[in-house]
Structure 1
Amino acid sequence: MDNGMEKRRAGESEEVDEEKWVYDSSVDHKGRIPLRASTGVWKAALFIIAIEFSERLSYFGIATNLIIYLTKVLHQDLETAAKNVNYWSGVTTLMPLIGGFIADAYMGRFSTVLVSSFIYLFGLILLTMSVLIPSLKACNADPCGNPKRLHEVIFFISMYMISVGTGGHKPSLESFGADQFDDDHSEERKKKMSYFNWWNSALCFGLVLGVTLIVYVQDNVSWASADIILTVIMAITIVVFYVGRPFYRYKVPEGSPLTPMLQVLVAAISKRNLPYPSNPSELYEIPKSEKTQGRLLFHTDNLRFLDKAAIVEDGNRTTLTQNQQPNSWKLSTVTKVEEVKLVVNMIPIWLATLTFGIGVAQATTFFIKQASSMNRKIGHGFEIPPASIYSVAAIGMIVSVTVYEKILEPALRKATGNERGIKILQRIGIGMAFSCVAMVAAALVERRRLEIVQGGTGGGMSMSVFWLTPQFVIIGIGDGFTLVGLQEYFYDQVPDSMRSLGIAFYLSVIGAGNFLSSLLITVVDILTEKKGRSWFAKDLNHSRLDNFYWLLVVMQAVNLCVYVFIARRYSYKNVKRRVAVVDCYEGDVSVSV
């Protein structure tokens, strides 16, 4: 009887302890185990979202109007300008692969965000100088006939400094925000699912202001004024981000996350001739009685060759019975093997989303250029800047995310029993279908615009820019499914030690999509020019963007079928348990790292 009561009290004490402290291998700003009540969740995430708002304001204020700057100020032709935008966007969204690796392995996410934010800020300062200082301006006369070479050099240096800053900022910041929610706490886990939705809503508000207010200042006041605004806002939000330091939960970097993966491969290859054990439970895993940080994963039957890394050889049994640490290059745990499987399983998904990335690239290049050739006047002579039409996509995404969060997800959760409503890959696939429909709308509108031009009824300028609304709204709705889904997928399904790198994988879909878009434009230009008329002429009215959009429709439709085939066979991450290391002394609690 006494034994039973003692066990119940111990269980109650452990439950209370779990509610008081966060045992997910996080530490607070003093290196101790965080108090749940005073750290993390939304009180910390709001500081993080503030600087993300600033970064997105700057990025989209620059990116959406970049093709206009290149064609009007630097006098580049349409094809060259589109390629330069795609190259810059591609580098900007591939750099996070380096930044995410550095954050996970060495610097930690907070420090990486702080350092990269200063690099971003210096890029904005240099960009401001290039349009403000007379000796660095493109021209000192208006109109500008031949821009200075020095201006082009300084301009592109500043733009690629922003790319480098984004490389550390984006993957680290988003994963750092998600780190503020404990996966093993039921209430915080639900809040984390909402976090990705509301993160993207805040991102879209920054985007809307970027493509409306900032773009308006660029077009109607000066490029210098817009750059000054962005620089000041970025400087302020860096301070705000640092002020939130006491409220954050931090993940301590554990060294290169690629080393354990390499160890699994080496161990599997060295034991390739060994037979599989009759029971998977015979594979090596850390004993339940042994305290460890992190979460363990269930064994899965796919990629069985890798399981050989966890086969215990006779030579290792002595080491294990003596409680010595085995050689990681000869013996891996089931969890480490499963983490390698997770990464390998992601490769087909990543490849299958690249065509979606190509579609996204059109929204900031050809869609904007379409808008510049249409009637943008409303009211008494007010003219909408071409890039501001992109705000329609952001509004579409905000509506999509809000409806999903407040209406669809609760209803789907009841219908399917899945805590997310639908599986992550299903959400991504729905958005990819919307993207395909958006390209159909874009092709139809562009064809109609060209008919007006060819009919000689005032040219494309007689066609209202609001004809572009459907394609922007549809692509925004699709982004609310696919982009949010990709963020959640690459954060949740990678090994816990690779979550910044996981967000970088998501961003690399967009980056690789931009490069592939440039490559596709080059190939199509060469092939169509051989047939007598390029689809990408110097003048938009003599181009055939409608044909290019139809090509993307076919590519996306075929790719969607391939994606569905892969997604239906995907095996999701299956967490087994988590055990934390807790050292209690003199009434204090600390974590062993």
Structure 2
Amino acid sequence: MALQENKSSEKTNSSGVTKKFWLRYLFDNFNTLPFISALVVAYKYVEIAVVSILMDYFNDSTEANQRIAAIVTNLQDGLSSLFVVIVSLISEAYTGYYTMITFCTAVSIEGLMLLWTSASSTKPSTFRAVYGAIFFLALGASGQKLLENFFEYQLGEKIKARHGSEAVRSGSTENKKEQDFTDKVIIKTWLYGPFVVGYVITICFAFINIDIHTTYEHWFRFAALLMGGTFMLFLVGSEWYSREKLPIESNLHKIYRIFKAALRKRHEKYPTSPSRYYWKDSKRDDSYEYHEGVRLLPRVPRLFRWLDKAAILEAEDSTVSLELQEKNEKLCTVKEVRDVKSLVPMFYLCFAFFGYSLLLATESTFFVSQASNMRAHFTTNNNDISILVLIMEATSDVSQFICFLIGRAFRHFTKFSCFDNVCNKKAAIARIGFGMVCAIICSLMAWRVEVGRLNVSKQMEYWDGRNSTVALVPQFSVLGISKGLVEGGIQNLFHGHVVKSMWSFDDAYEKLVIGSGKLMIIPLVLCIPSWFGDTLNSSRLDKFYLMLGILNAAFLLVFCYYSFRYAYKDVLPQDDPAVEDENVDFVSQSSVEIESKNHNTDTD
């Protein structure tokens, strides 16, 4: 009886703390969160209101044709994705997130000021500043994802500090589960709060009745002032930020060591016994026989199987100790080799997203060109492009948040531990597959809209609804759903297949997948001038959109083949990376505690 009363009291106290935690969280963390969230708002506004209209700005401000404008815009998008990969690797290994965010934001402000200068002057020589702005904006945009990760890290640190000595978590398992569920929902809710504010600012500014000839100048000036002001707030709050600790060795250097050691031993034969590998503290049953030698799990395509040689021991009569060989980067442990090999199948999956990345490349180019050549419906000053992009971003964020809530709620309320690593992989594959189906639907919608628009343009019947921007709402909305499902699913699949010590590559991998199509569409535009003419009406984008639908359908089959071929094979249950969350907490990716844990346990 007393035990029941104690449990009831613990549950009541836990519930009471949770309610107070929700109500007072804003005030207790005023010294940190508003400064970071303000800069998140500025980045979101620049993404929607500035980057999205660059294609239209190039067409209106220069004598360049649509093809040149599309190439320049896709070059900016592709460079932005490439810079995200570089910046994330540098911040993870050397500088930390705060330093790199400061650098990227300063570069973004410089790019916005150059755009403001080019839009406020009629001199052709002044407009050349826009090419410098493209580079600065591409580099500065890489700080947006770092800032979101840094925001999640600060929230996680505040939650850990508030829990203190784990008094709330020391109760029953149900209380721990409920608190974990609450913590994750709080973090995601706070992250999406600045997004909503950025959407509201974009809507308000889009409906301001200003002269169409000064629209770009006003957009760029407001964006530069907004980001400059929020950047100053971000610097003011730096005194209270929690700084993440850098790992002893970066994952990029670990990959370099393994490739270096494997190349050095490339002529050696595979051993016939598992004992000829440098297991160190790893289990010796993580191998398989192939032809006349023993290989290490997991199985990877033939092109990367030679990485196993990095863990082959030297001759038995060698006078150099194993520890010294490892220190001199001539020998790697089996666990390190397996960690790096877990990345290989994910990079093979990059080819399956080629059609999807091509569709994303059209969002900021030819979708924008369509909107600028159709009658405005939402605003009276031709700001419908920003409204359409806002609809796409909002549907993307909502779909991601709904998937997160469904996954967290299923884990929270289910009584069975069925959501193991394999179940997470299946859920991620299903999510990506449905997102790629939405990409096919979006391509077919764009094809039908463009066919109708071309017919209306020939007949000069501008009263027809097919020549209004309202006809573009379905394809932008479906594209947003596709982005939310595919990009979130890619992260989940990455976390389910790659070992936890390599999870810091998830952002770089996602941007690498997306950026490849944005760069590959450039030679496509140059090689098929009949599809991509100097103007929209002289182009045949309907054929291009139809081709995108067929490509996405074909690559959906490729994705199914590769994912099912490498998602479940040779993954040992005891070594599975226990995926605790569909969107892993940023703390688990960057803290030294996790890094040290990965060196003391076998996770694969």
Q: What range describes the TM-score normalised by the shorter chain of this pair?
A: 0.7 to 0.9
RMSD of Structure 2 on Structure 1 (CA): 4.2
CA displacement at 1:457 relative to structure 2: 2.8
1:120 aligns to 2:108 (yes or no): yes
Pick from 474, 477, 480: which aligns with 1:476? 480
TM-score, with structure 1 as normaliser: 0.74
Structure 2 CA distance, aligned partners of 1:151 and 1:119?
19
1:57-136 alignment runs, 5 A limit: 57-132=45-120
Pick from 441, 461, 474: which aligns with 1:457? 461
Map Cα deviations across residues 262-282 of structure 1 (whole Å, 9 max, x no partner): 322233344453544645896
SS at match of 2:437: helix
Match of 1:261 in 2: 255
Structure 2 CA distance, aligned partners of 1:279 and 1:41?
54
Percent identity at matched positions? 24
1:98-247 alignment runs, 5 A limit: 98-132=86-120, 137=121, 139=122, 148-167=123-142, 169-177=143-151, 179=153, 181=156, 201=192, 205=196, 208-209=199-200, 212-215=203-206, 220=212, 222-242=215-235, 243=237, 246-247=240-241
Specify every segment of 5 or more residues in structure 1 that has no aligned partner in the other structure, as ranges: 1-36, 140-147, 289-298, 526-533, 583-593
Match of 2:395 in 1: 396
Match of 2:20 in 1: none
CA displacement at 1:451 relative to structure 2: 2.1
SS at match of 2:419: coil
SS at match of 1:569: helix
| Maintained 8 Å contact 2:278/2:332 | no
Stretch moving more, 412-421 or 224-233:
412-421
Pick from 544, 551, 558: which aligns with 1:548? 544
Structure 2 CA distance, aligned partners of 1:452 and 1:96?
41
| Maintained 8 Å contact 2:377/2:384 | no
Name the one with the larger helix percent: 2
1:387 aligns to 2:386 (yes or no): yes
Structure 1 CA distance, aligned partners of 2:114 and 2:195?
26
SS at match of 1:64: helix
Specify every segment of 5 or more residues in structure 2 that has no aligned partner in the other structure, as ranges: 1-24, 161-168, 170-175, 284-295, 580-587, 595-604
CA displacement at 1:408 relative to structure 2: 6.3
Match of 1:301 in 2: 298
TM-score, with structure 2 as normaliser: 0.72
Pick from 511, 523, 529: which aligns with 1:507? 511
1:307-346 alignment runs, 5 A limit: 307-313=308-314, 314=316, 319=321, 326-346=326-346
SS at match of 1:67: helix
| Maintained 8 Å contact 2:245/2:592 | no
Letter of the 2:402 counterpart: V
SS at match of 1:308: helix
Letter of the 1:466 counterpart: V
| Maintained 8 Å contact 1:207/1:394 | no
Task: Tell me: CA distance 1:342–1:327, structure 2 relative to 1, closer, same or farther (3 Å).
Answer: same
Structure 2 CA distance, aligned partners of 1:448 and 1:275?
62
CA displacement at 1:122 relative to structure 2: 2.2
Match of 2:560 in 1: 564
| Maintained 8 Å contact 1:67/1:85 | yes
In the alignment of these two chains, the number of paired residues is 510
| Maintained 8 Å contact 2:282/2:335 | no
Match of 2:16 in 1: none
Pick from 437, 445, 449: which aligns with 1:441? 445
Task: Tell me: CA distance 1:476–1:124, structure 2 relative to 1, closer, same or farther (3 Å).
Answer: same
